[in-house]
Homo-oligomer: A and B are copies of this chain.
């Protein structure tokens, strides 16, 4: 293993020599602390001439801060989550920080591993869309690191903030709508990673279905359009096809569309489809996918604001509840 490439970058020592100051003074000067305006200017000048910029790694080791925010996604196979990750990445850049994006791929064990790695990387904060909100790790991490959760609140963890989806409301919105349209037998397609016992959203589905007198059939959908299509195909092709499919993400709903197309079934005539997320593409389908909309921009802004504030040492600890709206398009009709 060779030593690192020959680095010709200027170090703080060289700037110190160039200005006749000590390295400490240069360090202070460049961060505008405890030094006279005049030397600050002198140091700036010299630094610019030498093309000096503080080495982020050395700085991280010495100060414990990196400027990076960890972003731990539940499953990036999901298009909506891709958009979310992209949005957060961009919003962080606008605040002169950047995101270290990792993908738990729906696996709680991997989620824990990655969370620890992020902590070891000394991220200044962590945004997580938890697969397993009940993992004890969160409490432990939140002790030493600002953690902001998106989606579900972390259990027993002193987070720096939470952007919680009112899934109870979202589920109610969706199921009541289906009920109104006349559906009784509806398939519920949830992502594989609802493996988490008692995942809040699932609990709400059962409760609401009971309240509304719906006959539901919960099916877990694997990741990826192809895989989802296969599962959806099996469901639609079975003897006991439900009249509607409530998909726990728009990506899953896309799989149902694809399966329906393959089988020559029409949406919503043969099968009604309800999404959850409201991805931009949903409006382009024929018929448009009726979905439960979450304000993605609002979520991005809130999460970034919270994590950056906490990373800067402010103490907010706010819980922001996201209210869903039903975005009605054309994918739900009366049962056939």
- Residues of chain A at the chain B interface (Cβ within 8 Å): 1-7, 53, 55-58, 60-61, 63-66, 76-77, 79, 82-83, 86, 89-90, 93, 98-103, 105, 117, 120-122, 144-145, 225, 254, 257-258, 261, 280-281, 283-286, 313
Identity of the chain B residue whose Cβ is nearest the Cβ of A116 in the assembled complex: B53
Question: Known contacts being A86-B103, A257-B284, is A64 close to B121, with CB within 8 Å?
Answer: no
The residue that A89 contacts in the complex, of B3, B103, B120, with Cβ under 8 A, is: B103
State whether A105 touches B90 (Cβ < 8 A).
yes
Q: Name the B residues within 8 Å of A99 (CB-CB).
A: 101
State whether B57 touches A122 (Cβ < 8 A).
yes
Q: Name the B residues within 8 Å of A144 (CB-CB).
A: 5-7
Least Cβ–Cβ distance between A192 and chain B, in angstroms: 16
The residue that A3 contacts in the complex, of B64, B93, B98, with Cβ under 8 A, is: B64
Copies in the complex: 2
Q: Name the B residues within 8 Å of A100 (CB-CB).
A: 98, 100
Give Cα A6 to B4, complex, Å.
30
Give Cα A66 to B261, complex, Å.
47
Q: Name the B residues within 8 Å of A102 (CB-CB).
A: 89, 93, 98
The residue that A285 contacts in the complex, of B1, B86, B105, B285, with Cβ under 8 A, is: B285
Question: Known contacts being A53-B120, A120-B55, A121-B56, is A89 close to B101, with CB within 8 Å?
Answer: yes
The residue that A63 contacts in the complex, of B1, B56, B63, B281, with Cβ under 8 A, is: B1
Q: Name the B residues within 8 Å of A86 (CB-CB).
A: 76-77, 82, 103
Identity of the chain B residue whose Cβ is nearest the Cβ of A93 in the assembled complex: B103
State whether B285 touches A286 (Cβ < 8 A).
yes
List 6 A-B residue pairs with CB atoms under 8 Å apart, sorted by A's residue number.
A56-B117, A56-B122, A76-B90, A77-B86, A79-B281, A257-B284
Give Cα A7 to B61, complex, Å.
12
Give Cα A60 to B66, complex, Å.
13
Give Cα A280 to B61, complex, Å.
43
Least Cβ–Cβ distance between A53 and chain B, in angstroms: 7
Give Cα A79 to B99, complex, Å.
19
Identity of the chain B residue whose Cβ is nearest the Cβ of A9 in the assembled complex: B120
Give Cα A257 to B144, complex, Å.
49
Question: Known contacts being A61-B61, A283-B258, A284-B257, is A103 close to B76, with CB within 8 Å?
Answer: no
Q: Name the B residues within 8 Å of A93 (CB-CB).
A: 102-103
Q: Name the B residues within 8 Å of A83 (CB-CB).
A: 82
Give Cα A220 to B61, complex, Å.
45
Q: Which 4 A-B pairs have the closest CB atoms?
A: A4-B64, A286-B286, A5-B144, A76-B86
Least Cβ–Cβ distance between A105 and chain B, in angstroms: 7
Question: Known contacts being A82-B83, A99-B101, is A64 close to B285, with CB within 8 Å?
Answer: no
State whether B257 touches A65 (Cβ < 8 A).
no
State whether B120 touches A63 (Cβ < 8 A).
no
Q: Name the B residues within 8 Å of A283 (CB-CB).
A: 258
Give Cα A254 to B285, complex, Å.
10
Question: Known contacts being A76-B90, A254-B284, A286-B286, is A61 close to B64, with CB within 8 Å?
Answer: no
Q: Name the B residues within 8 Å of A254 (CB-CB).
A: 281, 284
